[in-house]
Amino acid sequence: MSSNTPTLILLLLDRSLAAWLTRQGEVPRDQPIEGEGGWFPCKTPDELIQALDDLRGRLGNELGSSFQLELLHDEGSRELLTKALPKLATPLTACAWEILRWEPLAARCGWQVDTSTPPSRDWIVQHALPLLLASDDASARRQMQEGAQREHASLTEQLQAERVQIQRENDKLRAQNEALRRVDAERLIVYLPALFPRVFTVIGGQDLALLTGRPEPYALPNPYPEPSPETLDTLQHDFRALPRELQRQVVAFISRLPQSQKLKPRPEMRALVQGLTEE
């Protein structure tokens, strides 16, 4: 077989099909069947024919006019494959092909073929397929295995980097949540009435103390008096003058509470509160 001749590998295990495409010296590339990754169910001969037609149609340019087909099957799929062979005669005329049993190859790779758990696709690519394609060529087999191992190591490194990034983001969120729990209660008492009408009839002194980590409840009158228009205007002006982060802390404190559904921002502060909530 020429080094440029592509090889299409089909593995039929327990009436489910997987496919890979490769050239000599390359790591086999996983191929979806009918747009689906993973194992494609082949319960009937027609479904096997349909899967092969889909692969040949989609990979026509890469397969070219001549390609190699390696079809492996396990004992559980033998009867299905036997029934499908007459219908496979026509599509297989376009390629050099061979049909092999899976169990001997898997055993040579150290897989316990009597286990009920199927091997992972990563294991198949790293161990079984290099042995299949390299045959008795030890150098080519080693080259294929090293390529698969490098690809696996690269993927592992990528996943590790993603886990580190996720951990950093989680740490940042935890720090932000902890900071919100430590929002200055005195600032809340001053500015919440400037943002929400009748806020302390919804969040009482006992709740506010618990939410801000204070052992003793705040002595807030009930009902809490609404600020005069002049005081309200001054408080709102002062709130707008606060650093953006302090504004955000006050609004975030309210937005994370179940009671927030009962609170509507004052009309003149609605746009500012909404903007802070969305940041």
C-alpha distances (whole Å) from 183 to each of 6, 34, 246, 263 are 65, 55, 9, 19
The two three-digit tokens of residue 134, written as one number: 């390299």
Structural domain containing residue 206: 182-278
Residue 136, pLDDT score? 44
CATH of the domain at 57: 3.30.420
pLDDT of residue 116: 62
Name the 3-class secondary structure at 191.
helix
How does pLDDT run across 104-141, given as a tens digit for each residue? 888 888 777 665 677 888 888 888 888 888 754 454 45
* pLDDT in the model for residue 143: 54
Neighbours of 117 (CB within 10 A): 6
> What confidence score (pLDDT) does residue 11 get?
93
Does residue 35 lie in a domain region? Answer: yes
Inside any domain, residue 247: yes
CA-CA distance, 249 to 185, in Å (whole number)?
A: 11
Parts of the chain with a pLDDT under 50: 1-2, 136-137, 139-140, 180
Q: Is 172 exposed, middle or buried (0-12, 13-18, 19+ CB in 10 A)?
A: exposed
The reported pLDDT for the residue numbered 1 is: 46
Q: Is residue 176 part of a domain?
A: no
Full-model pTM: 0.47
